[in-house]
Chain A
Amino acid sequence: MLVAKLAMLGAEIKSFAMEDGSTVGRLFEMAEENFVQGAVSINGAIVNENTILRDGNLVFIARQTKGNLPFELQIIRLGAAEPMIAVAVEEGTTVLSAFNALDAGRRSNFIRADGTQVYQEYRLGNGSLIDANAPIVRPASGTERIICATKTKGN
């Protein structure tokens, strides 16, 4: 059994549990997406429908250039029924641009209709603070976390 992820830039990542030895073509069948030759890659390398998947592969739809590989951004918010969503982003993406790339329903969890932010504090997976407008560096592991929190101050 392996888990493969299918991603488009800015969109939510879909994860699929698959049999060992499954192919990229099978992943597209399960996701009900059309495979376009030359526009699907894993770790920057163009793949075809017969490419064998490995556990944890992030299969990216759209041609990409080496050095600007997409990575998985897990957006985590406390107090939500669905506390984590994963999106594909590329180097230089900011927290706000990641939110703005979400579909309208998802975006409203982070950006109100009046443009204000639902959360006021963002932290990376290592606990350090990050400004909403600062670029997120691609992590070595291929996955970064953004923990969203409200700035409470009452007592």
Chain B
Amino acid sequence: MDYVRQIGILDPREIKGKSISLIGVGATGSTIALTLAQMGWGDSNTGQGVLKLFDGDKVEEHNLCNQEFYPEHIGMHKVEAMKDLIHRKCGFDIEAYPEMVTGQPSARSTYVFLLTDTMKSRQEIYDQCLGCSFNTELVIETRMGLKEGRVYAFCPQIPSEVKAWKETLYSDESADRSPCGASQSIASTASFLASLAVGRVIQHFNTHYGNGKLSDSNGKIPKMWNEVFFSLYPEQFVMRVFGSDPVMAM
């Protein structure tokens, strides 16, 4: 892959051993995985970044309209299908684990995306796997509705951020349900949410390892929001650094 068009913001040669785990490869996760691969994460020919995908589910027909998979992937494990897709599109292999994450250390990485479907699993995976991970620098967690979503980004080494994130968790029973009772999701919202989530990694990586690529002319680095709420119709945002008042764009 030739990454010359993106090196102004992310140069894969600078990744150097930074790993990313995606826990959950559904609507958001499949788009995040493909985006990261296209950016060179996991391309051993260029950089040394590692991309690991975890999901025990298989591709079903109804996944095609809002996930990256092709019809020939139906019946395959999502992670294997994604590995195939990335190999065909990008020409390299990523690590695929067709299993649900509980407490396995292999799921720990420099950056971890928590992209499961239940609030309970988010909490459990964090407590069993990530809370004791000393090499994880950022956890990115997303929550998607039909036309709105949220992205959380926090450092598990900073207790105040972990506490603030945990305060945002709620029970699955109290979560929003669509009028028809079925889980509702559309590709446009998923891809928007995925872009915001990947942006957290770009921002964190540049802040710590990227030689100031995101700095403005005064050397200032953009603020990393811990929480971003958005609605797409109409476009509205509420963003917050934990412990500070929210900023609204409406």
Contact = CB atoms under 8 A, between A and B. Distances in A.
A127 B143 contact: no
B183 A147 contact: no
Given A79-B236, A129-B167, A150-B145, A155 B244 contact: no
Contacts of A152: 143-145, 148-150, 175-176
A128 to B, nearest CB: 9
Contact of B174 (A147, A151, A154): A151
A150 to B, nearest CB: 4
Interface string B18-35: 000000101111000000
Interface string A125-155: 1110100000000000000000101111111
A120 B236 contact: no
B142 A155 contact: yes
A83 interface: yes
B127 interface: no
A54 interface: no
Nearest to B247: A127
Contacts of B238: 76, 78, 147, 149
Interface string B168-183: 1010101110000001
B118 A153 contact: yes
Interface size class of B (residues with CB under 8 A): 35 or more
A120 B185 contact: no
A87 B86 CA distance: 53
A80 B231 CA distance: 9
A129 B166 CA distance: 12
Contacts of A26: none
B170 A84 contact: no
Q: Is the interface of A mostly helix, strand, loop or mixed?
A: loop
A81 interface: yes
Contacts of A150: 145, 148, 176
B193 to A, nearest CB: 8
B142 to A, nearest CB: 6
B126 interface: no
Interface string B229-250: 1111110101010001110101
B167 to A, nearest CB: 7
Interface of B: 24, 26-29, 115-119, 142-145, 147-150, 167-168, 170, 172, 174-176, 183-185, 227, 229-234, 236, 238, 240, 244-246, 248, 250
3 A-B pairs with the lowest CB-CB distances in the bound complex, closest first: A79-B231, A152-B145, A78-B231
Given A78-B148, A78-B230, A153-B117, 17 more contacts: A79-B233, A79-B234, A79-B236, A80-B234, A81-B234, A83-B236, A83-B250, A120-B174, A129-B168, A149-B229, A151-B170, A152-B144, A152-B145, A152-B149, A154-B144, A154-B185, A155-B27
